[in-house]
Structure 1
Amino acid sequence: MKKTLYNIVGTLALLLGIVGIFLPLVPTTPFLLLASACYMRGSRRMHEWLLNQRHLGPYLRNFQQGRGIPLRAKITALALLWTSLTISMWFAPLPWVRILLLIPGIAVTVYLYRMPTLEPGGQMPNQADQIKRE
Structure 2
Amino acid sequence: MPRYLALVLAYVCLALAFIGVALPGLPTVPFLLLAAWFSARGSKRLHAWLYGHPRFGKLLIDWETQRAVSRRSKLIAVSMLAVSAVVMYHRLDNPWLLAGIGLLFAGVAVFLLTRPEPR
Distance 1:30 1:80 in 2: 14
Q: Please give the secondary structure, in 2, of the residue aligned with 1:65.
A: helix
How far has the Cα of 1:4 moved from its partner? 2.0
Distance 1:78 1:10 in 2: 25
State the Cα deviation string for residues 5-41 of structure 1 (Å, max 9, x = none).
2211111111111122223322222221221122112
Distance 1:97 1:41 in 2: 36
How far has the Cα of 1:101 moved from its partner? 2.3
Distance 2:60 2:79 in 1: 21
Q: Indicate if the aligned counterparts of 1:40 and 1:47 stay in contact, CA closer than 8 A.
A: yes
Letter in 2 for 1:115: R
Matched with 2:112 is 112
Matched with 2:73 is 73
**Percent identity (aligned):** 30
Distance 1:2 1:91 in 2: 41
Distance 2:91 2:115 in 1: 31
Matched with 1:47 is 47
So what's the TM-score if we normalise by structure 1?
0.78
Distance 1:95 1:2 in 2: 41
Residue 5 of structure 1 pairs with residue 11 of structure 2: no
Distance 2:67 2:99 in 1: 34
Matched pairs, number: 119
How far has the Cα of 1:67 moved from its partner? 5.0
So what's the TM-score if we normalise by structure 2?
0.87
Q: Indicate if the aligned counterparts of 2:67 and 2:116 stay in contact, CA closer than 8 A.
A: yes
**Deviation beyond 6 Å, 4+ runs, structure 1:** none
Relative to total residues, which structure has the larger helix share, 1 or 2? 2
Runs of 5+ consecutive residues of structure 2 not aligned to the other structure: none
Q: Indicate if the aligned counterparts of 1:13 and 1:34 stay in contact, CA closer than 8 A.
A: yes
Q: Indicate if the aligned counterparts of 1:69 and 1:117 stay in contact, CA closer than 8 A.
A: yes
Distance 1:101 1:2 in 2: 33
Letter in 2 for 1:64: E
Runs of 5+ consecutive residues of structure 1 not aligned to the other structure: 123-134
Q: Indicate if the aligned counterparts of 2:67 and 2:115 stay in contact, CA closer than 8 A.
A: no
Matched with 1:61 is 61
